[in-house]
Amino acid sequence: MHRLIERQVEVQPGAVALIFGDAELSYGELNRRANLLAHRLIRLGVGPEVKVGIAVERSIDMVVGLLATLKAGGAYVPLDPEYPQERLAYMVADSGIGLLLTQSGVRSRIPHSGQYPVLELDRLDLEDESDSNPQAVLHGHNLAYVIYTSGSTGKPKGAGNRHLALYNRLAWMQEAYELGNDDTVLQKTPFSFDVSVWEFFWPLMYGARLAIAAPGDHRDPARLLSLILRQNVTTLHFVPSMLQAFLAHEGIEACVATLRRIICSGEALQAEVQKQVFRKLPGVGLFNLYGPTEAAIDVTQWECVDDRDNSVPIGKPISGLQAYILDVHLNQVPQGVAGELYLGGIGLARGYLNRGGLTADRFIADPFDETGGRLYRTG
């Protein structure tokens, strides 16, 4: 994935890659800063299968840290500083991180055992490092990131996702929606949720601009509206409940000047919310996506249309993925008969960290794949 970002650096080094507040970073400068940090990470032992915890506020530092981790060959583990101390302590211990990236104002909130290096990104002097692109040797099945589930049905579980699955998901997204260098994608999802992965990397892979919302902006419709208008945002994501709150805010109709697409996921999209989008934001595309943390972001997609009164489907599988409705004997049920949703294909996570038994229970052999594929039981 980061190789495609480096290709954009070669094509348009001076183009704006990143916007945060009044600060802008070109593709060349973003790449340089990520390379300096990546070489430091490599010197400290980061490489394939090494997990790097990252606990920072939404900022330029956050993007540099995530990109540098991938360039070094490691897998990032987001640690949201807003999480309770008990949850953070569990995630740090369970994930087995080999290094922690943080900021001076955040460090005290993150439990630390002293068993791994800690780098404060806002106080780091990296000028003695190389700014060349690192050449970490990665396989498609190496870890790219580990994101923890909500823990609503027990302890949070770390789902490890692979470069191969992530690339498939982002390449499909480009094929489906086709970002260009005149697009601006808004990054507002907390990075502990996997939607943030495409928000960060999809625009940078294909030459668009990435606008980072300030901490807390994702909860405030007025601040979001101001940011969309100021940065000429063309693409953004909402969970449906937040979309509903946004649609109720005065003046959102002004967004139609630049906004091209709204992508929804994370909750069921209600038909009434869909109607409001088409009524208040005519000409803006609305897409409903579905996917569990146990896959690389999303696995199905539906392009919304303004003629549904009852429900909005989650759509059909994206490229490289399969979806089945099965009974308890793993037989496909007839049309209209209830069953359990199973997912298969290239997008599935590698499994749960340190949970071999649970991985074997939820990621099972695919009875429809003679080449030895797996299915994920969604429950």
- Per-residue pLDDT of the chain (379 residues), as tens digits, is 899 999 999 999 999 999 999 999 999 999 999 999 999 999 999 999 999 999 999 999 999 999 999 999 999 999 999 999 899 999 999 999 999 999 999 998 888 877 899 999 999 999 999 999 999 999 999 999 999 987 766 788 999 999 999 999 999 999 999 999 999 999 999 999 999 999 999 999 999 999 999 988 778 888 999 999 999 999 999 999 999 999 999 999 999 999 999 999 999 999 999 999 999 999 999 999 999 999 999 999 999 998 767 889 999 999 999 999 999 999 999 999 999 999 999 999 999 999 999 999 999 999 999 888 999 999 9
- Start-end of H helices in 19-80: 27-43, 60-71
Strand partners, 324: 342
- Residue 278: partners with Cβ closer than 8 Å, 6 or more residues away: 286, 304, 306
pLDDT of residue 251: 93
pLDDT of residue 152: 67
Question: Which region holds residue 244: left if phi is over 0, alpha if psi is between -120 and 50, else beta?
Answer: alpha
Q: Which two tokens stand for residue 117?
A: 């290096």
pTM of the model: 0.94
- Given a contact cutoff of 8 angstroms between Cβ atoms, the answer to whether 218 and 224 are in contact is yes
* DSSP helix/strand/coil, 300: strand
- Residue 75: partners with Cβ closer than 8 Å, 6 or more residues away: 49, 50, 51, 52, 69, 142, 143, 144, 145, 146, 160
* CATH topology classification for 25-162: Rossmann fold (3.40.50)
Q: Which CATH class is domain 320-379?
A: mainly beta
* CA 265 vs CA 98, 193, 262: distances in Å: 32, 11, 10
Neighbours of 358 (CB within 10 A): 13
Q: How many helices (H) and strands (E) does the chain have?
A: 10, 20
pLDDT of residue 155: 83
pLDDT of residue 153: 64
pLDDT of residue 99: 96
**Sheet of strand 374-377, all strands in order from the earlier edge strand to the far edge:** 321-326, 340-345, 374-377, 363-365
Q: H or E element: which one contains 349?
A: none
Residue type present at position 27:
Y
- Looking at 57-142, which runs of residues are DSSP E strands? 75-78, 99-102, 118-120
- Given a contact cutoff of 8 angstroms between Cβ atoms, the answer to whether 363 and 376 are in contact is yes
Q: Do domains 25-162 and 320-379 have the same CATH topology?
A: no
- Given a contact cutoff of 8 angstroms between Cβ atoms, the answer to whether 70 and 144 are in contact is yes
pLDDT of residue 327: 96
Instruction: Please report, for the chain, the start and end positions of each structural domain, with discontinuous segments joined by +.
Output: 25-162, 320-379
